[in-house]
A = this chain, B = another copy of it.
Amino acid sequence: MTEPTTYRTGLGVSDADSITVLGHSLADELLGQVSFGELAYWLMAKQRPTPQQRNLFEAVLVSLADHGFTPTAIGARVTLLSAPESIQGALAAGLLGGGDRFLGVTENAARFLHDALESCDPLPEDAHGWDALATEVVSRTRAEGRFVPGLGHPVHKDGDPRTPVLFDLARRNDLFGSHLELFAAIGRTHSAVLGRELPLNGAGACGAVLADVGLPLGVARGVALLARCAGLLGHLAEELADPIANDIFMAVDRNVDYRPPME
């Protein structure tokens, strides 16, 4: 038997008389005084957001909350159909789809921009400088046979409507930092390198915003998951009130093309 270990945390702790979250009395200093978005940022960054950071963080959450019948929503709904006793199971099933293909763009864009900036000292001072950097970054990425995350969209081919609004919000909140500068410059310059015009998608813009807002990169995907959590709960509430998951199930089950393996 060994000595008991202690476990470090700076989040929540409670005793008989009080609940402390992030060093503050939950009842006296937080309840009714911070928004949920503000607290979520604070919990993830271990730093209280400024009002400007909070504005942008909430905008990112609103931006990523729901996009209709995504695979995550379908997964959550069919799971509720099959296990109606466990709303947490249906929600978890939906969130498990929050991976590389659908929710990963936000994180990947944040990391891509971060990595490109890390080796760049000093940073460009004007649009001309940002365009030169963006051209170099896109060229290098293309030469490596990789894609630029945040560029292109399967539906919004002529422009993702969220991107200019997020840019504008960042400017109005004085948070249009180096990640957004580079992302915007990629939008201006990529077609000269790639030979075609692609939109800067909203998920990528969210990644750029989160990096400029000061969130740790390791939880950028977590922000997308928190946003999607609200959307999925909307789908589950709707499924409880006006179910369609059984129709999905039937549409698949009744249209099977059976091809047993040969022996």
Interface residues of A (CB under 8 A from B): 1-28, 30-32, 34-37, 39-40, 43-48, 55, 58-59, 61-63, 65-72, 74-75, 78-79, 81-93, 95-103, 155-158, 161-162, 164-166, 169, 202, 216, 218-219, 221-223, 225-227, 229-231, 233-238, 240-242, 244-245, 247-261, 263
Contacts and interface: CB of A to CB of B under 8 A. Distances in A.
A230 B39 contact: yes
Given A69-B253, A252-B69, A157 B85 contact: no
23 contacts: A1-B255, A5-B251, A6-B255, A8-B257, A9-B238, A19-B156, A28-B165, A31-B162, A39-B62, A68-B256, A69-B249, A71-B245, A74-B249, A83-B97, A83-B100, A83-B102, A83-B103, A89-B92, A90-B96, A91-B95, A92-B96, A93-B93, A95-B95
Given A165-B31, A221-B87, A258-B13, A233 B40 contact: yes
Nearest to A248: B252
Contacts of A237: 43-46, 216, 218-219, 222
